[in-house]
Amino acid sequence: MVREILEYPDPRLREVAKPVDEVTDEIRVLAEDMAETMYDAPGCGLAAPQIGVGKRIFVIDTATDDEPSDLRVFINPELLELEGEQTWSEGCLSFPELSEDIDRAEKVKVRALGVDGKPFVLEADGLLAVAIQHENDHLEGVLMIDKVSVLKRKLMQRKMEKRARAGA
Ligand code: NI
């Protein structure tokens, strides 16, 4: 089921998400809904707080249109290692139509649970590493607007307020 995506400045985007106690069928349905919502948007990542669910889950698919889908689900993720630097022009489904250059680590090592409830460790670089860091931030209530200069932040704020007023 496609869920509604919350947009900045919805206060629920600022809440720190809680760990998932157990990977149940309910959690698997949530992950499916999140994937469906992400593909529908379309986007390459979505965190549970973005659909108003305060749980530590995010989904990512960085495959391009001509590649087979590469859906990854991260439950209770932990970033174990960050290395290097890179800058990407990032977007976020909670900031529609906006993108900004954001500095991130070039490589990440992440541990999480999959939908089968089993832990896995993944080392990623490039866009996948960016997406993991971006989505993991959502679980802490941290948004891309926090990562840009004061001037850009004001500009983003103004654009999003205008959008909210227009009832978009
Ligand atoms: Ni985002």
Confidence of residue 168 (pLDDT cuts 50, 70, 90): low
Distance 22 CA to ligand 1 centre (A): 25
Return the pLDDT at 65: 85
Q: Give the tens place of pLDDT for each residue, 24-36.
A: 999 999 999 999 9
Residues with catalytic roles? 135
| Domains and their CATH numbers in the chain | 11-166 (3.90.45.10)
Q: Give the tens place of pLDDT for each residue, 82-102.
A: 999 999 999 999 999 999 999
Single pTM value for the model:
0.96
Local structure of 71: helix, strand or coil: coil
Q: Give the tens place of pLDDT for each residue, 40-86.
A: 999 999 999 999 999 999 999 999 889 999 999 999 999 999 999 99
Q: Give the tens place of pLDDT for each residue, 132-147.
A: 999 999 999 999 999 9
Distance 17 CA to ligand 1 centre (A): 14
Distance 23 CA to ligand 1 centre (A): 23
Average pLDDT, the chain: 97
CB 2 within 8 A of CB 50: no
User: What are the DSSP calls for 98-149, one per residue?
Assistant: -EEEEEE-SEEEEEEE-TTS-EEEEEEEHHHHHHHHHHHHHHTT--GGGGS-
Distance 13 CA to ligand 1 centre (A): 10
Return the pLDDT at 39: 97
